[in-house]
Amino acid sequence: MAESVFDPEGPLNCPICLNLLQDPVTTSCGHSFCMDCINKLWDREANRGVYSCPTCRMRFNKRPALSRTKVLADILEGMKQEAPAGPGDVTCDVCTGRKLKAIRSCLVCMASYCQTHLRPHYESEAFKKHKLVEASPNLQQQICPQHHKALEVYCHDDRKCVCVVCMVNEHSGHRMVSAADAMAQIQEELKIKQRDFLQLINDRDGVVQQSEEKLDLFKRSAQAAVEHSDNIFSEIICSIQKRQAEVRENIRAQENKEVRDAENHIQTLEKEICELQEENGKLEQLLETEDHIYFFQNYSFSSGSVQYNSSRDVNNLTFERAEQCLSELKNHLDEVCEEHMGRILNKVADVRIFKETERFQSIHQSEMEAGMEVQIWDIDDDFIYG
């Protein structure tokens, strides 16, 4: 059973368990009990064949029928839903001890009530004309500070709420209407503005969806462009490396050929030098001899016997001209790359997701006139990876 928070003899407590009624039922004599409590009591009395009311001791010859009390059950159910007031909640001004959360405030009583203590305002004729509002922590703000009356009238001229005394005094002759009617009229105007806001929200939802689709396409296009550029530059690098290997191979082949020919030529020259030195030695002997017989015997042997090969001229000793051609190729490639890179970067800069259009500039202007500082951007329908 629930813990009792009332007088055990109070109307909301079971006379048997003395706790708050649980599943309340009423006997034919008009007394209320927990269904389980009264049934268990009468089960024990069943052996005697006589049933009695625990409250008034009325006896019944047969077990009485029990009727569920809906009003009482609803009150108790509401009490179950009541919670202690938390930080920031308006507290009930009647509760003692544990303060419950207030659900309504009365502008006549200038007090706030929980669901239990609010019941007299609904059940008693004395409170029928009291003004109930949503629980407010600042009731004084709803009361005229000068006349201590509820601010129930709205003055159109001064655009403020006033009390009935202010209406006939300071605001005499002004356009007046009840605060409730003025609020209803303004709320209708706000509903129209709210529809405009909802329409703007829907428009922006559509723009957001399109933006997300375009953004996804943009990202995929950027990734494809990066991969394509990587492939192209890889192919260019491979092509350059291939031609680099070709030039290197040709230089080495030409080097080997010319070195081989030069070494053969040097060997031939060195052989000729040896032969010439040998013949020169013989000539020195002939020139130094005084024996004319020896001179003439050896003269015929040496004269005109040596054959001289003409020397080969040395030409294009270095690869300087080839290096110059390579430097020219490099400069030319730099110029071509610079030209194409400029075009490529311009094309990259042209790829955009959004652009401000005249249509949305017009909407933006209308919103500014309506006091809504909202900037809108349109999707660039021409977006495409180029």
- The residue extents of the domains of the chain are 1-81, 182-297+344-379
Among 41-45, 130-134, 143-147, 159-163, the range of highest mean pLDDT: 159-163
Going by DSSP bridges, is the β-strand pair 378-379/354-355 parallel, antiparallel, or unpaired? antiparallel
Tokens for 349? 């800069």
Question: What pLDDT, on a 0 to 100 scale, did the predictor assign at position 381?
Answer: 43
Whether the per-residue pLDDT at 250 is higher than 60: the answer is yes
Q: How confident is the model at residue 136 (pLDDT cuts 50, 70, 90)?
A: confident
Mean pLDDT of 207-234: 92
Question: What pLDDT, on a 0 to 100 scale, did the predictor assign at position 377?
Answer: 39
Question: What pLDDT, on a 0 to 100 scale, did the predictor assign at position 147?
Answer: 86
Q: What is the average pLDDT score of the chain?
A: 82
Whether the per-residue pLDDT at 135 is higher than 60: the answer is yes
Whether the per-residue pLDDT at 74 is higher than 80: the answer is no
Give the whole-number percent of the chain exceeding pLDDT 90.
33
Mean pLDDT of 277-285: 89
pLDDT in tens, 213-224: 999 999 999 999
Question: What pLDDT, on a 0 to 100 scale, did the predictor assign at position 249?
Answer: 95
Whether the per-residue pLDDT at 157 is higher than 50: the answer is yes
Mean pLDDT of 126-130: 87
Give the whole-number percent of the chain exceeding pLDDT 70.
83
Question: What pLDDT, on a 0 to 100 scale, did the predictor assign at position 234?
Answer: 95
Tokens for 340? 């194409």
Whether the per-residue pLDDT at 238 is higher than 90: the answer is yes
Comparison of pLDDT for 162 and 376, the residue scoring more: 162
Taking CA atoms, 381 is separated from 127, 213, 236, 346, 375, in Å, by: 66, 12, 34, 20, 19
Mean pLDDT of 280-304: 80
Buried b (16+ CB within 10 A) or exposed e, 239-277: eeeeeeeeeeeeeeeeeeeeeeeeeeeeeeeeeeeeeee
Question: What pLDDT, on a 0 to 100 scale, did the predictor assign at position 383?
Answer: 36
Question: What pLDDT, on a 0 to 100 scale, did the predictor assign at position 368?
Answer: 53
Whole-angstrom distance, CA of residue 118 vs CA of residue 21: 20
Comparison of pLDDT for 228 and 45, the residue scoring more: 228
Whether the per-residue pLDDT at 364 is higher than 60: the answer is no
Question: What pLDDT, on a 0 to 100 scale, did the predictor assign at position 314?
Answer: 60
Whether the per-residue pLDDT at 379 is higher than 70: the answer is no
Closest CA to 12 of 115, 83, 148, 97: 115
Cβ-based neighbours of 269, under 8 Å, separated by 6 or more: 311
Q: How confident is the model at residue 374 (pLDDT cuts 50, 70, 90)?
A: very low
CA of residue 342 relative to chain centroid, distance? 35
Question: What pLDDT, on a 0 to 100 scale, did the predictor assign at position 313?
Answer: 62
Q: How confident is the model at residue 69 (pLDDT cuts 50, 70, 90)?
A: confident
Whether the per-residue pLDDT at 95 is higher than 80: the answer is yes
Mean pLDDT of 335-354: 87
Mean pLDDT of 168-190: 91
Comparison of pLDDT for 104 and 148, the residue scoring more: 104
Topology at the third CATH level for domain 1-81:
Herpes Virus-1 (3.30.40)
